[in-house]
Amino acid sequence: MIIVLKPQCTQDQLQEFSSSLQQQYNVKVNAWFGTQSTVLGLIGDTSVVDIDYISAQDIVESVKRVQEPYKKANRKFHPDNTVVTLPTGQKIGDGSIALMAGPCSVESEAQICKVAESVKASGAQFLRGGAFKPRTSPYAFQGLKAEGLELLKEARKKTGLPIVTEIMRVSHIELFEDVDIIQVGARNMQNFELLKELGRINKPILLKRGLSSTIEELLMSAEYIMAGGNDQVILCERGIRTYETYTRNTLDISAVPILKKLSHLPVIVDPSHASGISWLVEPLAMAAVAAGADGLIIEVHNDPSRALSDGAQSLTPQQFDSVAKRIFEVGEAFGRTH
Ligand code: PEP
Ligand code: MN
């Protein structure tokens, strides 16, 4: 971290400020004296330094980070890829393509079980399905809630597929005890109280990028979970808000290699929410694999035209079967396994 001091800063003020920084943050402070101003360089773990506190000091002209503010999620301090491994053996981030598929919402036992069986036959290793749904309209279907979780477990029992489902509040953590991967949706990426609590449990967390969040903000949210002791975080690029209206969101494909470069955490892509249009799922999914994604999460519905949420972006099981084949073909071309 580089701090530029105001020209009128006195030697005493400089001394006092430097020693307070050393004591408060346990960093080394080097000073360079120019003709106009003095520059301080902070060396050590500056992720704990409060940049707003520094800027607010009278003698400070400007301050700039030269190191990322996240530490546990940072590849610099953890060069090897993190591989998230479920107790049942499925892995995410080991070079294989993790394929998660299922309906946007769990709607009935017959629906979830049918979809689970078909996506499994097509090569998916994980079943997705929303039980608690974050909907823009309070009048829209809000999910089957606790009953939805039970139906997911039923589908897991029938197929052996681990389940991925979204949590929206801290008080539900106990209810999610038997869920294999807990999803934090885009709308809750900065629900810091939820992230902190999920940091205290020993379960993989699928963290989706917020609608208007930067890559650094996504990594800071991962840091919240990891700072609590849970390092099983899977990052998910699911499209961001831009001025383009053709698609529901804009898939930020560059986020994949950037996240892989900055962090050791596995990165998956959600081409369904990124596009909002079912025919776009296949090309976006293939692009994601080619860009180095560790997996995909794709919405599949037995009857998209009657889906209670996100029908327009949902694939039929038959369509998913052909998309999955293409995904694995692209994966093979890039030396990936499945
Ligand atoms: C979902 O996965 O159904 C969902 C609501 O996703 P997102 O949080 O990315 O919008
Ligand atoms: Mn959805």
Residue 35 pLDDT greater than 90, yes or no: no
Q: Is the beta carbon of 260 within 6 A of some atom in ligand 1?
A: no
Which residues are CB-neighbours of 157 under 8 A, at least 6 positions away? Answer: none
Q: How far apart (Å, rounded) are the C-alpha atoms in residues 312 and 152?
A: 22
Ligand 1 pocket mutation pick from 212, 273, 308, 315 by most atoms within 8 angstroms of CB: 273
CB 268 within 8 A of CB 234: yes
Residue 142 pLDDT greater than 80, yes or no: yes
Residue at 26: amino acid letter: N
pLDDT at 37 (0 to 100): 86
Cβ–Cβ contacts within 10 Å for residue 140, how many? Answer: 11
Nearest CA to ligand 1 atom 3: 104
pLDDT at 338 (0 to 100): 74
pLDDT at 60 (0 to 100): 97
Give the ligand with the smallest distance to the CA of 129. 1
Of 302, 324, 318, 327, which is closest to residue 103 (Cα–Cα)? 302
- Which DSSP letter does residue 275 get? H
249 CA → ligand 2 middle, Å: 13
> What are the DSSP calls for 95-106, one per residue?
SB-EEEEE-SB-
Q: What is the mean pLDDT of residues 302-310?
A: 98
Average pLDDT value for the chain: 97
Give the ligand with the smallest distance to the CA of 308. 2
Q: What is the pLDDT of residues 63-111, one digit of tens each?
A: 999 999 999 999 999 999 999 999 999 999 999 999 999 999 999 999 9
310 CA → ligand 1 middle, Å: 10
For the CA of 183, the closest atom of ligand 1 is: 2
Q: What is the pLDDT of residues 250-301, one digit of tens each?
A: 999 999 999 999 999 999 999 999 999 999 999 999 999 999 999 999 999 9
Q: What is the pLDDT of residues 220-262, one digit of tens each?
A: 999 999 999 999 999 999 999 999 999 999 999 999 999 999 9
Distance of CA 178 to the CA centre of its chain: 21
